[in-house]
């Protein structure tokens, strides 16, 4: 549908005003909220993710596209709630204890929301207990751990061990990422998935939940 394609194109272009306007128009025309989400917003962000993977887009382009997506979601979220549209997963994301870097974490969160996940952003310098709490109290079924400093990587292991001790390790998948992190390290600490970059984070999150 031309209107939804225009919405996707506005997301890709990072046009916040147009994205919000087109979302409001689609809702006013009686279009189902889930269709707007899937065929407009998520479709647009999927293209952004591919362009990012292929080095056609860089961090600034992804950020403006994500902000356009956020502007659309402000209009769409009440309709999604009203129509009881469920997210495809609930992700508790944060930079681990001792690490204050958040650009990578924020990019991953934006890409995940753009793919239809609900995001619980715990921020930076997050203790293992915060991640455990997000699983226990908010029902997160994915815990996404970010680290930029080599010295804070052990906090990822600590978090997984805390989840096991609290009896919630079987309730949430753990995915990790960040500049010093590798697949080998993910395997060593018992993580369920590793993402080399923000765009890959979406694929990994879907994979650990068994979503095609």
Give how many domains the chain has, as a whole number.
Answer: 2
pTM value is: 0.84
My answer on whether 64 and 102 are in the same domain is no
CATH code: domain of residue 173: 3.40.50.280
My answer on whether 44 and 116 are in the same domain is no
Which has the closest alpha carbon to 206: 115, 94, 132?
A: 115
My answer on whether 147 and 123 are in the same domain is yes
Which of 37, 56, 82 is the C-terminal boundary of a domain?
82
Which has the closest alpha carbon to 135: 189, 91, 186?
A: 91
Q: What percent of the chain has pLDDT over 90?
A: 85
Question: Could you give the CA distance from residue 133 to residue 48 in angstroms, rounded to a whole number?
Answer: 32
Which of 41, 59, 82 is the C-terminal boundary of a domain?
82
- Whole-number Cα distances in Å, 2 to 7, 9, 35, 41: 9, 10, 13, 14
Tokens of 139: 């029902």
My answer on whether 119 and 71 are in the same domain is no
Domain that holds residue 73: 2-82
Whether the pLDDT of residue 120 is over 80: the answer is yes
Q: What pLDDT was estimated at residue 199?
A: 81
Whether the pLDDT of residue 212 is over 80: the answer is no
pLDDT digits (tens, 9 = 90+) for 67-79: 999 999 999 999 9
pLDDT digits (tens, 9 = 90+) for 26-40: 999 999 999 999 999
My answer on whether 57 and 130 are in the same domain is no
């Amino acid at each position: 549908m031309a209107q939804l394609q225009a919405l996707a194109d506005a997301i890709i272009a990072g046009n916040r005003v147009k994205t919000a306007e087109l979302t409001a128009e689609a809702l006013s025309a009686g279009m189902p909220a889930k269709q707007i989400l899937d065929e407009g917003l998520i479709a647009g962000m999927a293209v952004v993710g591919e362009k990012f993977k292929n080095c056609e887009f860089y961090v600034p382009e992804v950020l403006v596209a994500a902000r356009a997506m956020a502007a659309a979601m402000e209009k769409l979220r009440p309709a999604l709630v009203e129509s009881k549209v469920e997210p495809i997963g609930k992700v508790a994301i944060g930079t681990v204890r001792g690490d204050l870097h958040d650009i990578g974490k924020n990019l991953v969160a934006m890409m995940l929301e753009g793919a239809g996940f609900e995001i619980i952003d715990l921020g930076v310098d997050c203790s293992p207990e915060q991640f455990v709490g997000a699983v226990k109290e908010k029902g997160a079924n994915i815990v996404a751990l970010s680290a930029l400093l080599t010295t804070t990587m052990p906090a990822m292991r600590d978090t997984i061990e805390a989840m096991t001790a609290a009896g919630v390790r079987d309730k949430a998948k753990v995915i990790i990422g960040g500049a010093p992190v590798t697949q080998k390290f993910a395997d060593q600490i018992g993580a369920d998935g590793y993402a080399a970059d923000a765009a890959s984070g979406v694929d990994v999150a879907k994979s650990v939940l068994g979503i095609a």
